Amino acid sequence: MGFLDTIESGSQIDSYRIEEPVARSGMASIFRATDVRDNRIVALKIPHPDMEADPILFDRFQREAAIGEKLNHPMVMRVFGGEKRSRVYMVMEWCEGRLLREILSHGRIGHDRALHISVKVLDALEYIHEQGVVHRDLKPENIMIDENDNVKLIDFGIAGDGAARRLTYANFTATLGTADYISPEQVKGKRGDGRSDIYAMGVILYEMLTGRLPFSGNSPMEVMNDRLLNYPVPPSLVEPRISPQMQEVLYRALERDPQNRYAHAREFAHDLQHLDEVGVEDRLETREWNKRKSHTSRQVAYYAALALIPVVILLLMVLVSRHR
């Protein structure tokens, strides 16, 4: 029986009384808890024993905690540190609300609400980027929305910290992300920077406004390959109420080349808040979107090999660490 199997409602870890389990992933379990010192409700993220035994996965967990502890913004979930603990776990801010994924499961959301949520998320992204942190796995599952549409950015499990110089699990998995939201440069095996988060936010905004994703495929690799070869269906064709200015903002966020993308989250947010000031370009995206390039086996194999580079490196690191 592992440690997690002994955790029940009412049990206590240091000064935290467990109230109930909330979620379980492959690496850790999250519990709602009360800090008995001040009755504050918190969330405890406790790694599974097998993860603690793996030095690379354990390093990822500690890295996530270290990144979280240095961030302090109303739209970023807090991680609390600075106290002696009897075992390894994270103490996190308890966030009420629903995941954006749950909201989107009912279809597209209204224009004004989509812009409101996007501006809030971009505010959070601007803050973390200023702290040298790149989320690298931005998606609706990592955005919490409360009843007043306030936003919390959560889960920095594969985030990158620009201040770090060591090679860690977080560094090597930074290119992986989630297929539907991963940027083209990450598909090509590059580490990515804040503009990769901006790309992901562009995909999320497209999804909020249209109820569908800009790129598709029968497998994650096909989805990633689609964004390298083809243009998305113009969002105004999916949802006619999308203005040319709003469509232009989406195209700027979804530029394949990060050098042509919004350089900063604040620029993206500014255009969303001042759509009347956005100039509309004559784009290939609107004229040639239906000229679909095929996913040839050579192209798929090439990009699959690029995407697998960090995985191979990770496996080598695991083998080396286990034979020391």
Task: List the catalytic residue out of 137, 161, 193, 271.
Answer: 137
The residue among 68, 85, 80 whose CA lies nearest residue 40 is 80
Cα separation of 14 and 36, whole Å? 9
Helix, strand, coil content of the chain in percent (nearest 5): 45, 15, 40
137 is an active site residue: yes
Tell the residue number behind the tokens 């008995």, with chain if given.
36
Residue 238 tokens read as 């999916």
DSSP assignment of 108-127: ---HHHHHHHHHHHHHHHHH
Residue 319 neighbours by CB distance under 10 Å: 9
- Rounded Cα gap, residues 201 and 203, in angstroms: 5
Distance CA 159, CA 319 (A): 23
CA distance 192 to 317: 21
Q: Which helix (H) or strand (E) holds 57?
A: helix 55-69
Identity of residue 280: V
- 111-130 vs 194-210: helix axis angle to the nearest 10? 170
Task: Give yes or no for a contact between 219 and 202, defined as CB atoms under 8 angstroms apart.
Answer: no
Question: What is residue 278's DSSP assignment?
Answer: P
Which DSSP helix (H) or strand (E) runs through 45? strand 40-47
Structure tokens at 283: 């784009």
Q: Are 203 and 184 in contact (CB under 8 A)?
A: no
Which residues form the catalytic set? 137
